[in-house]
Amino acid sequence: MARVPVPPADLARLAAGAVVSAYGLGALAVARGPGERTTYAGASELAAALTTAAGLALVAAGMVASLARQGRRIGDLALLAGFLWFAPVWAGWNGGPALARSLGTLAAVFTLPVLLHLVVAFPSGVLRSKGARALVIAVYLGAALSALGRALFRDPFFDPACWDNCTDNVFLVHSIPDVARAIEDVDLWFVACAAAALAALCVWRLAAASGPARRTLGPVLAGGIALAGATIAHSVVLSRAAIEDPSDSEFLAVFVVGCAAVIVIAFGLPWALVQARIQRRSVARIAADLGEAPPPGSLESALADAIRDAELQIAYWLPGARRYVDGHGDPVDEPVAGPARAVTRLIRNGHEVAAITHTATVADLEREVGAAVRLALENERLQAEVLAQLQDLRVSRTRIVETGDAERRRLERDLHDGAQQRLLALSYEVRLARAGATADGDEELARMLDAAGDETAVALDELRDLAHGIYPAILTEAGLAPALQALADDAPLPVELDELAPERRPPAVETTAYVTVAEAIEDAARRGAAFLSVRVHGADGRLSITAQDEGRPRSHDLPHLADRVGALGGTLELGDTSLRAEIPCE
Amino acid sequence: MRVVVADDVMLTREGIVRLLKDAGIDVVAEADDAELLLREVRLKRPDAAIVDIRMPPTHTDEGLVATHRIRTEHPEVGVLVLSQYVEPSYALRLLEEHPERVGYLLKQRVFDVAVLVDALRRIDDGETVVDPTIVARLFGRQRRQDPLAELTEREREVLGLVAEGLSNRAIAGRLFVTERTVEAHVKQVLLKLGLDLNPDSHRRVLAVLAYLRGERSI
């Protein structure tokens, strides 16, 4: 392991953390001493412990987070929140320096906005959506206006609701108690509304997140919801009381919930980082775990497991076919990013290797996919390309067979509707002429017309056989069972057909089954068989045809039939005196 | 006799109509599809209908479907189905649905006016008509143990005529023997083939055809 030098910025953060911790412990000393009646921490030991724990937890989380590259912005926010968290204690320092108390009073106004910013911007530290950005800006603006108004016009000495700092405001320009009162009232409900928006945002993000994302984001978002609840409850309780009293049970309960929420949020920051690290490790391990010849599509499930995102999809771009396919070579839609989904495209030499659709909580998947996984992805892309080509080939083989069948069928119809009808008409004319000749007593002509009529009948028979040989119309019109019966009627050897269900199947399947039985009959006859038993059976979306005889053993294959069955994705097995074809019906 | 003729090919239809008229048969209506045929049958109540098996719109088995409806809705109207296919399956289906007053003839045969008129008369008499080519095809079917081999020449002849739908009397006329002789032959044949059925029933044609096809279960 190489030693990683700690960059100066991190040293500054560590120093800031240490300073804030010291200042927080100082606040504790203040609360347990002169601030006994003017701070929550002074009101009870529980409140003191919670105040200190929440503040220091924020500081610690901030320091841990800022050690990780992706956590820096969030870490800074946590440090700042930890700093502001102790402000109310300093404001309640009875007998303390006026400047410190005045600043503490103003800084306390910003505690909630910074916490809200922290939760909303988590985990990237960046505000992605417009709504989130608007909420954060509004809350900062409201806090700034409120702080400014209080600083300029609120003389704590004339504030009847004052409780923590009732003596000092070094910024006071002109005391206007009514304005100060109004600002406090408006601020009370503005903060409640902001908290409600925060809660809604957290609930929405939790609902929209996939399983693994919910696991990562859960603690911080849940803490955000609890914090919002405590804030709203505080506004409600305060609006009913004349003065905020830390020893009052309602106020104390709200305060305890708020502290707990902050502790949960602080705990959630390193939790998310640890989750991300676990994820990165498992992504890096994928290539090794897959082994040398992973089955198609295994990379997708491995990656999905690694980042715990069951909906993860890998799409490979086939430049030749100009479409995306999955690991099996099956066509998929072009990957697009959605509200909670991100698309990471891995490019190599200017060509896209793979497009991965995954949960948006994994911000930088490309970095996490190491060289080994990249190589595995490239391998799978090649495999998918081959599979896709194979599939195209199969489809095209099926199409060739289907086109051939359709063409034969058309020919048969043309013969039937054209030449056969004309010959029929001709035979009718001949009959008519013959009747005339007989009436006229022209025996010679009658005989000639008889001969012509017989010839026409022979021509009709031959034409019918020809048409039937081109395509057996009964197959399309009545189905496989009657068509096979007809085959057995004409067979040169006894053929026993097992009962076949009358249900219809796709034309290509019926034709192939028919051709199979026809070939089996011909083959059995060639090998001198005295009897052929045929069984056609449909199950599980497949039609299986078995033929068994007792002729001489087969000495040659049936390549034409194998091609035909194979074209539909079926299989043909030949035994010495048996044959078995399986044709998928879809 | 009053007859309706249905065939979508005008040449054939007109030929048949002319032959029938020349033979003194009253053609009360013509139709070029199954719908029109059914309407005309309802309207004119003919003695028989001559129906092409292959008619619009799908040119598959419209004729058989129409036959089924005519025989169900108007049992007094006989139907002669014309086909260009030597397919026992179609003939069997026809007889399975309605064992009386139906016939299945190859189209090219109907221009022999004697055959056509004979078929119509037999259907009108309540018999069935099966084209000899169909029967010959079934007779020619290869069998593992051929019970037909045990029949005498005359018995085979009688069996063939039974399969064509002829009554004992008609068979007697064909073979220049007495009806009683034919009855005896038929009895003997059914015995040898192991067919347990009333030798005079209408169903004997279907039973014999099915037997020849190897479908013993009937």
Residue B140 token pair: 């020619």
Chain A CB contacts of B61 under 8 Å are 477-478
Nearest to A170, CA basis, from A182, A154, A186: A154
Nearest to A60, CA basis, from A70, A47, A71, A69: A71
Nearest residue in A to B112, CA atom: A431
Tallying the residues shown for chain A, one arrives at 586
Amino acid residing at A232: I
Distance from CA of B178 to the nearest CA of A (A): 33
3-class SS at B2?
Answer: strand
Residues β-bridged to residue A536:
A545
Q: Which chain B residues touch A if contact means CB-CB below 8 Å?
A: 9, 11-12, 15, 18-19, 22, 54, 59-61, 84-90, 93, 107-108, 111-113, 137-138, 140-144, 213-214
Nearest residue in A to B113, CA atom: A431
Nearest residue in A to B145, CA atom: A494
Q: What integer is the mean pLDDT of B35-47?
A: 93
Quickly tell me which residue has 């059976």 as its tokens. Answer: A537
Cβ-defined contact of A432 to B18 (cutoff 8 Å): yes
How many whole angstroms from its chain centre is CA A341?
7
3-class SS at A163?
Answer: coil
**B12 closest CB neighbour out of A425, A431, A492:** A425
Amino acid residing at B2: R
B54-82 pLDDT, tens per residue? 888 888 788 999 999 999 999 999 999 99
Distance from CA of B117 to the nearest CA of A (A): 15
The beta-strand segments (E) located in A384-539 are: 495-497, 532-539
Nearest residue in B to A480, CA atom: B89
Cβ-defined contact of B12 to A421 (cutoff 8 Å): yes
Residue A172 token pair: 């006071």
Using an 8 Å Cβ cutoff, are A60 and A266 in contact?
yes
Task: Please check the confidence at residue B149 and state whether its pLDDT lies above 60.
Answer: yes
DSSP B56: T
Q: Which of B11, B81, B89 to mutate to test the interface with A (most CBs of A within 10 A)?
A: B89
pLDDT band at B217 (very low <50, low <70, confident <90, very high): very low
Tallying the residues shown for chain B, one arrives at 218
Determine the Cα–Cα distance for residues B100 and B205; give it in Å rounded to an integer. Answer: 10
Q: Label residue A68 exposed, middle or buried (CB < 10 Å: 0-12, 13-18, 19+).
A: middle
Residue A272 token pair: 């998310």
Q: Count of A–B CB contacts within 8 Å? A: 82
Q: pLDDT of chain A along its 586 residues, tens only?
A: 445 555 666 777 788 888 888 877 877 777 777 777 777 877 788 888 888 888 888 888 888 887 776 677 888 888 888 888 888 887 777 777 888 788 888 888 888 898 888 888 887 777 877 888 898 999 999 989 888 888 888 877 777 777 777 777 777 778 888 888 888 888 888 989 999 998 998 898 888 776 667 788 889 899 999 988 988 988 888 888 878 777 788 888 888 888 888 889 889 888 888 887 787 777 777 777 777 677 888 888 888 887 778 888 899 998 888 889 998 888 899 888 877 788 888 888 888 888 988 877 776 777 777 777 888 888 889 999 999 999 889 889 989 999 999 999 999 989 988 888 888 888 888 888 888 898 898 999 999 999 999 999 899 989 988 998 899 988 988 889 989 999 998 899 999 888 777 888 999 999 999 999 999 999 999 999 999 999 999 888 899 999 999 889 988 888 999 999 999 989 999 999 999 999 998 7
**Which residues are within 8 A (CB) of B216 and not within 5 positions of it... i.e. 6 or more apart?**
B210
Quickly tell me which residue has 């049970």 as its tokens. Answer: A249
Chain B CB contacts of A491 under 8 Å are 141-142
Determine the Cα–Cα distance for residues A88 and A105; give it in Å rounded to an integer. Answer: 6
Quickly tell me which residue has 């030798």 as its tokens. Answer: B199
Chain A CB contacts of B214 under 8 Å are 488, 496-497
Whether this prediction's pTM lies above 0.90 is answered by no
Which pLDDT score, from 0 to 100, does residue B68 have? 93
Quick one: which H or E segment has residue B43? helix B34-44
Determine the Cα–Cα distance for residues A518 and A328; give it in Å rounded to an integer. Answer: 36
Using an 8 Å Cβ cutoff, are A205 and A217 in contact?
yes
| Interface predicted TM-score (ipTM) of this complex, two decimals | 0.86
Task: Please check the confidence at residue B218 and state whether its pLDDT lies above 50.
Answer: no
Cis-peptide into A270, omega within 30 deg: no
Tell me the C-alpha to C-alpha distance, in Å, between residue A244 and each of A93, A248, A464, A483.
16, 8, 105, 95
3-class SS at A557?
Answer: coil
Residue B69 token pair: 């409806």
Cβ-defined contact of A421 to B140 (cutoff 8 Å): no
Using an 8 Å Cβ cutoff, are B6 and B30 in contact?
yes
| Residue-wise DSSP of B115-156 | HHHHHHHHHHTT--EE-HHHHHHHHT---SS-GGGGS-HHHH
> What mean pLDDT, rounded, does chain B reach?
88
Which pLDDT score, from 0 to 100, does residue A4 have? 53
3-class SS at A176?
Answer: coil
A 286-325 residues with CB below 8 A of B?
none
Which pLDDT score, from 0 to 100, does residue B45 have? 94
**A489 closest CB neighbour out of B18, B85, B88:** B88
Residue B33 token pair: 């599809």
Determine the Cα–Cα distance for residues A124 and A120; give it in Å rounded to an integer. Answer: 10
Determine the Cα–Cα distance for residues A497 and B214; give it in Å rounded to an integer. Answer: 9
**A482 closest CB neighbour out of B22, B89, B142:** B89
Chain A CB contacts of B84 under 8 Å are 416, 420, 464
Determine the Cα–Cα distance for residues A526 and A524; give it in Å rounded to an integer. Answer: 5
Determine the Cα–Cα distance for residues A81 and A270; give it in Å rounded to an integer. Answer: 16
Using an 8 Å Cβ cutoff, are A117 and A139 in contact?
yes
Quickly tell me which residue has 């034309």 as its tokens. Answer: A507
Task: Please check the confidence at residue B166 and state whether its pLDDT lies above 50.
Answer: yes
**Which residues are within 8 A (CB) of B122 and not within 5 positions of it... i.e. 6 or more apart?**
B103, B128, B129, B165, B166, B170
Which pLDDT score, from 0 to 100, does residue A247 have? 79
The beta-strand segments (E) located in A382-512 are: 495-497
Nearest to A327, CA basis, from A394, A254, A376: A376
Q: Which of B82, B93, B131, B142 to mutate to test the interface with A (most CBs of A within 10 A)?
A: B142
Check if A491 contacts B (Cβ < 8 Å).
yes
Cβ-defined contact of B22 to A435 (cutoff 8 Å): yes
Task: Please check the confidence at residue B215 and state whether its pLDDT lies above 70.
Answer: no
Tally of helices (H runs) and strands (E runs) in chain A: 20, 10
Determine the Cα–Cα distance for residues B70 and A523; give it in Å rounded to an integer. Answer: 45
Distance from CA of A509 to the nearest CA of B (A): 19
Check if A485 contacts B (Cβ < 8 Å).
yes
Q: To 5 degrees, how large is the angle CA A13–CA A19–CA A23?
A: 140
Residue B215 has phi, psi (to 5 degrees) of -100, 90
Chain B CB contacts of A417 under 8 Å are 9
